[in-house]
Amino acid sequence: MKRTLFTILLSGLLLSASLASATIVRSMSLDEMTRTADVVIRATVESRASNWNDERTRIYTVTTLRVAHTLKGPVSVGEQIRIRQIGGSVGEITQMVSGNARFTHGEEVLVFLDRDAAQGLHYVIGMAQGKYTVNRRTTPPTVERNVHGMTIVPRPGQATLVPSVSIAPNGAALPELEQKIRTSITRP
């Protein structure tokens, strides 16, 4: 009995710790992300740079992508676009936001973005929900999405911790995902 009670308490503490470090985000379907996005592209990560804001109260990271394929939006193949996110490291100080999309130099990605033409910046739709990594080691190429650090709320009142889940399941074929996006764009 004591062992069972201890196991239950330990499980509760671990779950609480997991939820405490998660960002709560409303679940978005592929159709919803596609309709909401100003830009949907496949691109390669070229660089990342983190800097303080003018007040030195927040760190922002700007990731530069080179567009390889445009599915939606006013961007051209070969164009560079910049994505801005809260968080990053400057010197010895790091600010983190659980659930942010994570980008790695050289990585090929498929992203759903809001466009801020006035600032020349883009923002990932739905945080990490709006970023897929392309895996070209498979035939056909597949996609994966990592939403680690997020609690995705499918509908009001039902929160579920989702460590790594996707609308297109991890391992889904890239051509099929792109076709679903094109269909969603043309649907009335």
DSSP codes, 3-42: HHHHHHHHHHHHHHHHHHTPEEEE---HHHHHHH-SEEEE
How many separate domains does the chain show? Answer: 1
**Coil, strand, or helix at residue 100?**
coil
Q: Answer whether residue 5 is part of any domain.
A: no
Question: How many Cβ atoms from other residues are within 10 Å of residue 30's Cβ?
Answer: 17
Listed range (61-70, 82-91, 119-128, 166-175) with the worst mean pLDDT? 166-175
81 pairs with which residues across the strands? 65
Question: pLDDT class for 166, splitting at 50, 70, 90?
Answer: very low
Q: Which residue has the higher pLDDT, 74 or 4?
A: 74
Placement of tokens 């990053």 in the chain: 88
Question: pLDDT class for 167, splitting at 50, 70, 90?
Answer: low
CATH code at position 171? 2.40.50.120
Q: Answer whether residue 154 is part of any domain.
A: yes
What mean pLDDT is predicted for residues 145-171?
Answer: 62
* Domain, as residue range, for 166: 23-186
pLDDT tens per residue, range 10-53:
334 334 444 455 788 788 889 999 999 999 999 999 999 999 99
Query: Percent of the chain at pLDDT above 70?
Result: 80
Question: How many Cβ atoms from other residues are within 10 Å of residue 62's Cβ?
Answer: 16
Q: Which ranges in the chain belong to alpha helices (H)? A: 2-20, 30-36, 174-186
Question: pLDDT class for 68, splitting at 50, 70, 90?
Answer: very high
